Amino acid sequence: MVEIGFPDMLSLAQTIGIVGTMILTLYFSKKQIQSLAIDQQTRVLNDLDEKFLRMAELSMEDPSIQKVIDNQGSSSRELAFSFYILWICSHAYSMRQRKVLNDIEWTGWQQWMSNCFRKGTLRQTWKQIEADRWFDPAFQDFINKQIVPSIGNK
């Protein structure tokens, strides 16, 4: 039978400690890299959102330039503003999907969207543009399955 002395035990404990530390470091590094990737994607999405919102502002200032992106429909400040509001809703939905918005914040956004559809003309605009699929299909499904049914036939 082999006896393990104190120096051997100490060496074994140090080796286990080093390997354990390396495993923990690897685990938390992987988590950090995943978090950074999500942060980067969110920054890109926010940058694109800012560009779209600027485009919507220009369209509201001069509705005639809307023909550049849609030559089929009528140009109006109201239509441009409707797209602006819908894009904000789409962005909030994307942030929820990425877990940037918590449950309480998301509940507030859902209520705001429902109010916009119920009290304003956004519902009519949505009916007009829905078939053209201007927005992310997941967002369109969300609007059609959760927001529109929640407001009823008002």
pLDDT at residue 153, as a whole number: 61
Q: Does pLDDT of 112 surpass 80?
A: yes
Per-residue pLDDT reduced to its tens digit, 6-58: 788 888 888 898 988 888 888 888 888 877 777 777 788 778 878 878 887 88
pLDDT at residue 82, as a whole number: 87
Q: Are 90 and 136 in contact (CB under 8 A)?
A: yes
pTM of the shown model:
0.65
